[in-house]
Structure formats: C-alpha cells, structure tokens
Amino acid sequence: MNETNTTEVVQNYLDSLGELEGDSAVEPAIRALLGRAVGRIQLLCRAYLNQSYRRLTRPPLNLQTDEVLSAVVERLLKALRETRPKTVRQFFGLANQHIRWELNDLARCSDKQMKQSGLPAELVPVPESSDSSLSLNARHILEAIENLPEDEREAFSIGMSQAEAADLLGVSAKTVQRRLHRSLVLLTEKLSFLQ
C-alpha cells in the first residue's frame, strides 16, 4: 500500500480494534496496526531525535532512530493493551507522547551517568536542554505549551512538516499554518515576562 493511504488504513485498524475483545484477538490487531504505522512513527522519532534531542545522537550514547523506534513500539504495544485511541489523531498523539517520554528517560539516564562517571568537569560536555534538569524558565515554557488549546498545542508539538501534519490531522496545510501561528502568538503573550 502506498504511504498516502496510511491515515485511512490506520483508522480502519483503530475501528476494528475497538470492536475486539480478549487478548488473543486484540494482540494480533495491535501488532498489525503498529506494523502499518511504523513508517510514520519512525519519521516522528527521527524528527524528535534530530531536532530536540540532538545531544543523544553524540557520544557516549550515539543513539540512532531505529533504537528509539524499537523502544517506542514496545511502549505502544503495552499502552494499546490498555488504551484504545478512536482516531488517527489520538493514535499519533499517543505515539508522540511515548517518543517524548522515551527520549526524556534516556536524557535523564545519560545525565546521571555523566555525573557519576567521575570525569573532570571540563571533559564532561555541557548537556543541551532536555527535560532532565529544567530551569524555572523552562518549566514556565513547558507549562505554557501544555496550556495551549488542543489544536494549537498539537500543531506546535507534532514534529512534522506542515504538509505531513495536515495529512495526519485531516486538515489543510494552511489550517496547520494558522494553528501554528496562533500557538506562537499565545506563547509570546503568556511568556512575555521572560523577555
């Protein structure tokens, strides 16, 4: 099947998953759903890793997209046994959440290992920002993002190009652009005290 049909196919899997009961029927359906969506989840992992968690791609971790993907798919397998997203939007929102959690966990572990390594401070690279040791300003920023209206928060944090996000959300690229612009305006207003 071609990639442009992924949204429709994933929605069909989600619909059928909602009708199933019993572990023996649900497990193969979850695996089939993840098998079909893995290409997009991989793109999300790559975007997060290369844009927001770049330091994890350097020594000592040298983290690769496929390593993150593997951990996220495992997380999603467990999550989908308990949670049943009804829409493609909810499904990829769940995937985004688990990608962030996985990368934040890795960043925290890496920071902890570097502190415990006993290396002289000048040899330990200064970590780029991550969720592991947030300043007060960073907490204000994350709180402001979490408090955005749902559409604007989604456009702001989806981690895809506007065209890809539009396809995933089932709206036009112009709508994604408007939501992104609105999120930036709201964040600028809420965080004006940081200037």
Contact 154, 181 (CB under 8 A): no
Tell whether 71 and 10 lie within a shared domain: yes
Q: What is the pTM of this model?
A: 0.66
pLDDT per residue over 98-151, tens digit each?
998 899 888 888 877 777 766 544 455 544 444 445 567 777 787 888 888 988
Q: Is residue 122 part of a domain?
A: no
Predicted pLDDT at 1: 42
DSSP 23-44: HHHHHHHHHHHHHHHHHHHHHH
Domain boundary among 90, 117, 144: 117
Predicted pLDDT at 134: 55
Domain count, the chain: 2
Q: Is residue 10 part of a domain?
A: yes
Tell whether 93 and 140 lie within a shared domain: no
Tell whether 18 and 107 lie within a shared domain: yes
Tell whether 12 and 106 lie within a shared domain: yes
Instruction: Print the domain residue range for 44.
Output: 1-117
Tell whether 86 and 171 lie within a shared domain: no
Q: Is residue 124 part of a domain?
A: no
What 3-state class would DSSP assign to 63?
Answer: coil
CATH number at residue 192: 1.10.10.10
Predicted pLDDT at 33: 93
Tell whether 111 and 141 lie within a shared domain: no
Contact 142, 100 (CB under 8 A): no
DSSP 120-150: -GGGSPPPPP-GGG--HHHHHHHHHHHTS-H
What residue has token string 């989604």? Answer: 154
Tell which residue, 189, 163, 185, has the closest CA to residue 174: 163
Token code pair at residue 61: 């971790």
Tell which residue, 161, 155, 189, 159, has the closest CA to residue 175: 155
pLDDT per residue over 66-90, tens digit each?
999 999 999 999 999 888 999 888 8
Tell whether 46 and 96 lie within a shared domain: yes
Task: Note the residue count of the chain.
Answer: 195
Contact 33, 9 (CB under 8 A): no
